[in-house]
């Protein structure tokens, strides 16, 4: 069976990243980079603090011909067209992704520091499906 391809493109208000082409031979983990897994053009790992290490899964179902996205208990949420997939840090049910959908991983957060609050230090990661 031919592989399905997911293309992650950066939106203007997103944390900056290079376009990604990820083949979905099996479910692919979307998450924050760590020492043993760095961002690359063929993965869904991002160097962005609003993502959890294991933020979400994306896959293609060959039987139905559909793409799916699932939040895997992320701290800052996963959104399709501004709709959050799950409440709090709960795992979401699989959600179908359609061509043209805007996918957002995480939200802007405010950090508390000893010197006070810093807002806008972290940015969302937006992708177009």
CATH number of the domain residue 97 falls in: 2.60.200.20
Name the band, by pLDDT with cuts 50, 70 and 90, for residue 49. confident
Mean pLDDT of 80-91: 89
The whole-number pLDDT of residue 53 equals: 81
Beta bridge partners of 45: 31
Host domain of residue 118: 5-128
Cβ atoms 23, 42 nearer than 8 A: yes
Residues 6+ apart with CB under 8 A from 11: 102, 126, 127, 128
Number of domains composing the chain: 1
Q: What is the pTM of this model?
A: 0.78
Please determine, for residue 58, whether its predicted confidence score (pLDDT) is greater than 90. Answer: yes
User: If you ran DSSP here, which 8-state letter would residue 2 be given?
Assistant: P
Residues 6+ apart with CB under 8 A from 75: 52, 89, 106
- Cα–Cα dist 72/90, whole Å: 7
């Amino acid at each position: 069976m031919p592989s399905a391809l997911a293309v992650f493109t950066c939106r203007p208000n997103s944390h900056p990243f290079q376009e990604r082409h990820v083949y979905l031979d099996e479910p692919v983990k979307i998450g924050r980079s760590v020492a043993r897994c760095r961002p690359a053009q063929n993965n869904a790992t991002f160097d962005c603090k609003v993502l959890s290490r294991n933020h979400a899964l994306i896959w293609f179902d060959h039987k139905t011909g559909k793409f799916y996205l699932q939040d895997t208990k992320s701290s800052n949420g996963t959104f399709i067209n501004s709709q959050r997939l799950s409440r709090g840090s709960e795992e979401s049910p699989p959600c179908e992704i359609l061509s043209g959908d805007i996918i957002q991983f995480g939200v802007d957060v405010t950090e508390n520091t000893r010197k006070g609050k810093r807002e806008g230090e972290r940015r969302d990661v937006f992708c177009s499906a």
